[in-house]
Amino acid sequence: MQVDIIWDRVVNGYATRDITNIEVDEYSEIILCLKIRLEQLEEKLIEYKQSEDKRLKVFIPKREKELLRLKNLIKLME
């Protein structure tokens, strides 16, 4: 699979990323991989929250932000 990502496009003052040269079956694979990653992040977040180790608690806000970004990306792509 080879796709092109256009990094320097700006629409209404916001930077956008356009993905081109992608086929339908490749698109399905990307969505599936994103959903699997979402499940993994949700499991890690639960582990962090249930852990007694304070060092892991530091990662909770970062994981929550990452989860939110990933959910928004999946919703946008679907």
Residue 38 lies in a domain: yes
pTM for the model stands at: 0.69
Residue 52 lies in a domain: yes
Residue 49 lies in a domain: yes
- Average of pLDDT values for 44-49? 92
The enclosing H or E element of 18 equals strand 14-20
Residue 8 lies in a domain: no
* Residue pair 49/60 in contact by the 8 Å Cβ criterion: yes
Residue 56 lies in a domain: yes
In the predicted model, what is the mean pLDDT of the chain? 84
Residue 37 lies in a domain: yes
* Range of the structural domain that residue 58 is part of: 23-77
| Number of domains composing the chain | 1
Residue 66 lies in a domain: yes
Which of these ranges, 1-5, 6-10, 15-19, 61-65, has the smallest mean pLDDT? Answer: 1-5
